């Protein structure tokens, strides 16, 4: 089926991108007194664990193989 092939390609692209592109994370901490608000906002970028990236890439390869086999049959 073409859907498995495209899903596999999408998973592979997401897996490769997750190795390189950091995910931004913003956190706000503070206190509120009446109508006044005093806070500090911190930002940081984190990458996804390489294990998750490998699982995405392997799953994408498996789906692509399954999609190409069912299409040729």
Residue 67 near residue 3, CB atoms below 8 Å: yes
Q: Say what the pTM is.
A: 0.68
> Tokens 């899903």 sit at which residue?
7
- Other C-beta atoms lying within 10 Å of the C-beta of residue 58: 13
Label residue 14 by pLDDT band (50, 70, 90): very high
Whether 10 shows a pLDDT value over 90: the answer reads yes
Residues 53, 15 contacting (CB under 8 angstroms): yes
Domain coverage including residue 35: 2-72
pLDDT at 4 over 60: yes
Cα(59)–Cα(41) distance, rounded to whole angstroms? 37
- Number of domains the chain is built from: 1
* 19-40 mean pLDDT: 89
């Amino acid at each position: 089926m073409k859907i498995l092939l495209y899903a596999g390609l999408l998973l592979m692209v997401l897996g490769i991108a997750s190795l390189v592109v950091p995910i931004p994370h913003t956190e706000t901490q503070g206190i509120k007194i009446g109508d006044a608000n005093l806070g500090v906002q911190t930002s940081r970028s984190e990458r996804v664990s390489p294990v998750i990236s490998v699982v995405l890439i392997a799953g994408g390869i498996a789906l692509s193989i399954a999609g190409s086999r069912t299409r040729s049959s």
